Amino acid sequence: MADLPPPSPPPAGLMSHDWAEGHRSGFASFVGRPNAGKSTLTNALVGTKVAITSDKPQTTRSVVRGIVHRDDAQLVLVDTPGLHRPRTLLGERLNDLVRTTWAEVDVVAVCFPADEKVGPGDRFIVTELAKVRRTVKVAVATKTDLATPEQIGQHLMDIERLGRETDTDWAEIVPVSAVAGDQVALLEDLLVAQMPEGPPLYPGGELTDTPDETLVGELVREAALDGVRDELPHSIAVVIEEMVPREGRPADRPLLDVHANLFVERDSQKGIVIGRKGARLQEVGTNARKQIEALLGTPVHLDLRVKVAKDWQRDPRQLRRLGF
């Protein structure tokens, strides 16, 4: 887990005069309360699955980026964890990370799900965000396919009012549905318009610069979280120990060996993850493997082990070991 990446040096041979006049580039970050639709929107904009979605709150833990490439612009999306009232050391570190990201990006887009009322959670985030003065703020009403036109109208007014009450100057307020594809292109245009003029920051065609290990770890975590009890998400961490091509395979039949450790905090959680006679872990492994194969485009053998790291969220040494 790292701060916002320094932009890669321009690709070899790309001199400053090589980029078209008026080309824009920069960083945008979607924020919002858990489940607001940030990851889904990132995916809709980038057009491939790079950020992790889940119907469980607070599953986005890594800073996973997607890059929107256009002839006239390059938009780098930074998908941050949700800001929440810190209860553990991990919570505090995540909040620090979120604020650092906000100050470094060009635009922060706050997502307000249209199927839920603007509430205290949103107010908390917007109040914190208002303290980061320099960054342009955009409001996005997400999941509009789940609301009636009347509800959407009311929602937009509520967002506008929250802006006034928190002294937040919304550069735009945009309703979108990432699932229905409604207004996603418009949102992209509006975000691009907020970017400074500049050359592409990343080589063309690169969808994300998150290391494969991080994405693979997130996919395993996503599979492990699917359908488990609500208290588990905070207690699962995945570390990819090794990703190596299997030796001695014919060139047309490669196999990638992935060794992953899935850490939980307590023995009881270990039982939940593994399931009766290992049935659940096997299912998690199969689901994760399919996702990894789709991501990397190669057959994968996934070796998944569950380990207990007692109270890792409260222990600085363990946090470091698990990459926080």
Ligand X SMILES: Nc1nc2c(ncn2[C@@H]2O[C@H](COP(=O)(O)OP(=O)(O)OP(=O)(O)O)[C@@H](O)[C@H]2O)c(=O)[nH]1
Binding site for ligand X (CB under 6 A): 32, 34-40, 53-55, 57-60, 82, 142-143, 145-146, 177-179
Closest to ligand X by CB, 39 vs 291, is 39
To ligand X, the closest distance from the beta carbon of 322 in angstroms equals: 18
Closest to ligand X by CB, 52 vs 258, is 52
Which residues are annotated binding-site positions for GTP?
Answer: 32-39, 79-83, 142-145
Closest to ligand X by CB, 200 vs 233, is 233
Mapped onto helix, strand or coil, the DSSP state of residue 181 is coil
Give the whole-angstrom CA distance, residue 238 versus residue 284. 13
H or E segment and range at residue 244: strand 237-245
Closest to ligand X by CB, 136 vs 147, is 147
Closest to ligand X by CB, 53 vs 74, is 53
Give the whole-angstrom CA distance, residue 202 versus residue 76. 9
To ligand X, the closest distance from the beta carbon of 42 in angstroms equals: 8
Contact 59, 165 (CB under 8 A): no
Mapped onto helix, strand or coil, the DSSP state of residue 285 is helix
Contact 43, 53 (CB under 8 A): yes
Helices 149-165 and 120-130 meet at what angle, rounded to 10?
Answer: 40
Contact 78, 65 (CB under 8 A): yes
Record the tokens describing residue 110, joined without a space: 């706050």
To ligand X, the closest distance from the beta carbon of 279 in angstroms equals: 25
Backbone angles phi, psi at 301, to 5 degrees: -105, 120
To ligand X, the closest distance from the beta carbon of 57 in angstroms equals: 5
To ligand X, the closest distance from the beta carbon of 58 in angstroms equals: 5
Which among 110, 162, 180, 165 has a CA at the least distance from the CA of 141?
Answer: 110
Which residues are annotated binding-site positions?
Answer: 32-39, 79-83, 142-145
